[in-house]
């Protein structure tokens, strides 16, 4: 780790401690006592951060990443690289001043602790590590599915050149981003709520508790749009050999790399107020995201906001199964008319279709939504039928991708049809994930996978990787 | 390979007719197995320990204080709920079923809300066997499946201990053999 790491880590807490100390001690102690206390705390903080830094280290060995940290209770973690779903290079505002960055790996399973932030490295070092880890992860994934292939010593694999060609797919329009966030329910309702504390404040007997409650409520309301605005400022998506490259952020800059075969599901959302303008937001689900709490609900935007045609063109380039004219261009099968008794508001929009690689569902009333789940990623298929549905002879089918943030659901189809859809989804999921293992079992000579990158992680990719290649 | 679902792509007319027959939601030809009827006793005990103290407390309040109508109403409602629960418990236990197919495990349950989960062996991350004190006394256990998707974590309660152990070992072995990347 970079020697400046303890300084930055320490600085993070100082603001909080400083505020706390000054608030507590205001008036009760003299300036001198306060200054001494603050100095002691700050120095202590830095000392702890420095000792922690001394004990923190990592190394990449074979197909594993070893991380050790902790002062009193030492911890050593071993992360098998084939479980790495995505690698992010994050540059918090303060670290940027010093040219430092943090490498974060999204690991599937194991909750929050499994995520391994390596903080801080120089930006160039972080970038090199990112490329190296992704290559190793791709190799490890390929090796895990084809144990017969001799892999050679992975530690000696030369890191690929840092500058890889990034094919630009999308760049967010800042004016559109601002307007779209202004046109959310949260932002629009805030002024109405603001009236109450103003009235209270200007009244003859202002109650500070009431004002505080409402102000904190408003802050909570506009937090989401503000976070989106800051987090998705300067949002660009491109693709290179490793997958999707997302660059975003105003204060904290984040460079995400998402291998395309790791995409589990896609959500397309169109809030009511965006519809007159034809704006669309597309998010992708990657298993592992969201466990660290920094990613919103485990998703990552693919297109924060864009006119529909542009957004769908980007999606089509990533997932060719969705036509560039949007999912509605597919022939969707609507829910039967009697579904209106069960879902009176959204039944007109309820529809779905099954393509060769994905399930596409449509629904929603105020917010129009489409969900796409890939057969190759399906963890399980479920059917459910409530009492109302049984009375109407309807049933719903759910397809669960890993992570489970988005569960595309075929809502309220005829029961017999739903049963057939479920059977079909099960078959397609098996067919989509089978080829690699079948190949490995049947082919007499091992596939020419020695150079790793071209091996293209057979099990994990399935048909989506093949599609991805075609889309490029 | 998947047989193409012929009518799934072609939009059909929106029929408003509610079919009188209720077609089966799950494959009938699968080797369905039922869970142990002893599970009903666990469920009954659960209902009793939950509801009897409440009903008793409410009835006591009504007997020894002035308030009468509302507590008695609650007590009667609670007893009614308990009676209904006891009446359907056998059927609810019978509704549990599981089937080991060539590539996946089927689990179905529920009377009011009917559910079926299809979990491919290759997607199972790990398998738990759990048994509470009462379940142990009755010689049954619960097998809990875990996949990478939280929504698909299916459980099969009320398996005889030997069957639970066999199922766990078999699922673990099959999961190992067919493990698929994420």
List, as ranges, residues 82-121 from A with C-beta within 8 Å of B.
82-83, 85, 108-109
Min Cα separation B99/chain A (Å): 14
pLDDT of residue A88 exceeding 60, the answer is yes
pLDDT of residue A222 exceeding 80, the answer is yes
**Given this model, what pLDDT does residue A259 score?**
85
**Given this model, what pLDDT does residue B19 score?**
57
Which residues of chain A lie closer than 8 angstroms to B148, CB-CB?
108-109, 287, 379, 402-404
Binary contact (B182, A460; C-beta < 8 A): yes
Residue A26's pLDDT band (cuts 50, 70, 90)? low
Binary contact (B26, A419; C-beta < 8 A): yes
- Cα diameter, chain B: 72
Q: What is the DSSP string of A52-69?
A: HHHT-EEEEETTEEEEEE
Distances, alpha carbon A218 to alpha carbons A177, A180, A198, A228, A230, in Å? 21, 19, 12, 16, 18
Min Cα separation B164/chain A (Å): 21
Nearest-by-CA chain B residue for A339: B16
Min Cα separation A68/chain B (Å): 26
List, as ranges, residues 343-372 from A with C-beta within 8 Å of B.
353-354
Mean pLDDT of A240-246: 84
* Whether the Cβ atoms of residue A370 and residue A359 lie closer than 8 Å to each other: no
Q: How far apart are CA A408 and CA A94, in angstroms?
A: 40
Q: How far apart are CA A412 and CA A342, in angstroms?
A: 8
* Whether the Cβ atoms of residue A472 and residue A456 lie closer than 8 Å to each other: no
Which residues of chain B lie closer than 8 angstroms to A287, CB-CB?
148, 182
Q: How far apart are CA A364 and CA A272, in angstroms?
A: 10
Distances, alpha carbon A239 to alpha carbons A37, A165, A346, B68, in Å? 52, 8, 36, 72
Q: Which of B112, B147, B180 sits opposite A380 (nearest CB)?
A: B147
Say whether pTM exceeds 0.90: no
Q: Which of B16, B119, B149 sits opposite A404 (nearest CB)?
A: B149
Q: How far apart are CA A395 and CA A60, in angstroms?
A: 49
Specify the range with the lowest mean pLDDT, choosing from A18-27, A33-42, A218-227: A18-27
Q: How far apart are CA A423 and CA A420, in angstroms?
A: 5
Residue A468 vs residue A226, higher pLDDT: A226
Q: How far apart are CA A347 and CA A334, in angstroms?
A: 9
Backbone φ, ψ for residue A101 (5° rounding): -150, 165
A-B contacts (CB, under 8 Å): 161
Alpha helices by DSSP H, listed for A404-457, are 415-442
Q: How far apart are CA B47 and CA B83, in angstroms?
A: 10
Binary contact (A404, B8; C-beta < 8 A): no
Mean pLDDT of A129-134: 86
Residue A436's pLDDT band (cuts 50, 70, 90)? very low
Q: How far apart are CA A238 and CA A471, in angstroms?
A: 13
**Given this model, what pLDDT does residue A447 score?**
36
Question: Percent of chain A at pLDDT above 90?
Answer: 24
Which residues of chain A lie closer than 8 angstroms to B156, CB-CB?
none
Please count the CA atoms within 13 angstroms of the CA of B6 that sit on its side-chain side. 0
Q: In 10 A of CB A346, how many CB atoms?
A: 20
The end-to-end CA distance of chain B, in Å, is: 21
Determine the distance from the C-alpha atom of residue A34 to the mean position of all C-alpha atoms in its chain, rounded to a whole number.
44
Nearest-by-CA chain A residue for B24: A416
Beta-bridge partner residues of B143: B129, B156
Q: For an interface test with B, which of A84, A332, A379 has the most B Cβ atoms less than 10 Å from its Cβ?
A: A379
Distances, alpha carbon B156 to alpha carbons A145, A218, B5, B99, in Å? 30, 46, 30, 11
The alpha carbons of chain A give a radius of gyration, in whole angstroms, of: 26
Q: Could you tell me which of B35, B163, B48, B164 has the C-alpha nearest to residue B108? A: B35
Residue A445's pLDDT band (cuts 50, 70, 90)? very low
Q: Which of B18, B123, B150 sits opposite A404 (nearest CB)?
A: B150
Min Cα separation B17/chain A (Å): 7
* Whether the Cβ atoms of residue A206 and residue A200 lie closer than 8 Å to each other: yes
Q: Is the dihedral of CA A414, A420, A423, A428 positive or negative?
A: negative
Question: Which residues, 6+ apart, have CB-to-CB distance to A158 below 8 Å?
Answer: none
Omega into A120 within 30° of 0, i.e. cis?
Answer: yes
Residue A244 vs residue A167, higher pLDDT: A244
Pair of tokens at residue B125: 């991350």
Q: Which of A390, A426, A460 sits opposite B104 (nearest CB)?
A: A426
* Whether the Cβ atoms of residue A434 and residue B181 lie closer than 8 Å to each other: no
pLDDT in tens, A367-390: 999 999 999 888 899 999 999 999
pLDDT of residue A459 exceeding 80, the answer is no
């Amino acid at each position: 780790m970079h020697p400046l790491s303890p300084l930055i880590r320490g600085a993070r807490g100082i603001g909080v401690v400083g505020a706390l100390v000054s608030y507590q001690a205001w008036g009760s102690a003299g300036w001198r006592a306060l200054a001494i206390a603050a100095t002691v705390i700050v120095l202590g903080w830095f000392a702890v951060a420095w000792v922690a830094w001394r004990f923190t280290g990592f190394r990449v060995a074979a197909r594993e990443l070893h991380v050790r940290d902790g002062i009193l209770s030492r911890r050593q973690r071993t992360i098998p690289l084939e479980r790495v779903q995505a690698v992010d290079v994050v540059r918090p505002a303060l670290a940027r001043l010093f040219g430092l960055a943090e490498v974060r790996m999204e690991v599937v399973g194991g909750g929050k602790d499994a995520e391994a932030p390596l903080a801080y490295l120089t930006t160039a070092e972080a970038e090199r590590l990112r490329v190296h880890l992704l290559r190793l992860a791709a190799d490890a994934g390929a090796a895990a599915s084809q144990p017969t292939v001799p892999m050679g010593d992975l530690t000696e694999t030369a890191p690929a050149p840092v500058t890889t060609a990034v094919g630009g797919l999308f760049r967010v329009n800042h004016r559109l981003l601002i307007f779209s966030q202004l046109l959310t329910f949260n932002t629009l309702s805030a002024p109405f709520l603001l009236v109450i504390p103003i009235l209270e404040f200007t009244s003859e007997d202002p109650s500070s508790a009431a004002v505080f409650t409402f102000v904190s409520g408003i802050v909570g309301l506009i937090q989401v749009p503000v976070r989106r605005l800051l987090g998705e400022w300067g949002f660009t998506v491109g693709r290179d050999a490793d997958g999707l490259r997302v660059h975003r952020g105003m204060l904290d800059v984040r460079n995400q790399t998402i291998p395309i075969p790791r995409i589990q599901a896609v959500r397309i959302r169109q809030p009511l107020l965006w519809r007159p303008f034809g704006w669309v937001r597309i998010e992708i689900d990657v298993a592992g995201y969201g466990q660290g709490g920094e990613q919103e609900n485990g998703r990552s935007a693919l297109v924060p906001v864009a006119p529909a045609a542009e957004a769908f063109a980007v999606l089509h380039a990533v997932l060719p199964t969705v036509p560039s004219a949007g999912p509605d261009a597919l022939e969707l099968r609507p829910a039967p008319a009697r579904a209106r008794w069960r879902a009176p508001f959204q039944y007109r929009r309820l529809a779905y279709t099954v393509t060769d690689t994905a399930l596409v569902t449509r629904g929603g009333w105020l917010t129009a939504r489409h969900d796409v789940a890939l057969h190759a990623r399906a963890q399980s298929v479920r059917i459910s039928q409530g009492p109302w549905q049984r009375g109407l002879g309807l049933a719903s089918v759910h397809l669960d991708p890993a992570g489970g943030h988005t569960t595309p659901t075929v809502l309220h189809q005829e029961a017999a049809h739903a049963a057939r859809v479920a059977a079909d989804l099960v078959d397609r999921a098996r067919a989509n994930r089978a080829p690699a293992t079948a190949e490995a079992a049947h082919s007499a000579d091992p596939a020419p996978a020695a150079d790793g990158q071209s091996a293209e992680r057979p099990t994990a990719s399935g048909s989506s990787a093949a599609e991805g290649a075609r889309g490029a | 390979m998947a047989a193409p679902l012929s009518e799934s792509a072609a939009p059909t007319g929106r029929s408003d007719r509610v079919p009188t027959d209720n077609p089966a939601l799950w494959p009938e030809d699968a080797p369905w197995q039922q869970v142990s009827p002893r599970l009903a006793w666990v469920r009954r005990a659960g209902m009793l320990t939950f509801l009897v103290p409440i009903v008793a407390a409410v009835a006591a309040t009504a007997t020894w204080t002035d308030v009468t109508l509302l507590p008695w109403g609650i007590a009667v409602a609670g007893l009614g709920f308990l009676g209904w629960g006891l009446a359907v418990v056998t059927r609810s236990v019978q509704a549990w079923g599981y089937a080991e197919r060539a590539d996946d495990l089927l689990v179905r349950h529920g009377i009011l809300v009917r559910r079926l989960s299809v979990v491919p062996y290759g997607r199972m991350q790990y398998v738990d066997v759990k048994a509470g004190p009462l379940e142990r006394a009755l010689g049954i256990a619960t097998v809990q499946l875990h996949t990478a998707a939280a929504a698909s974590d299916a459980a099969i309660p009320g398996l005889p201990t030997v069957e639970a152990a066999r199922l766990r070992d078999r699922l673990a072995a099959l999961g190992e053999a067919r493990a698929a990347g994420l």
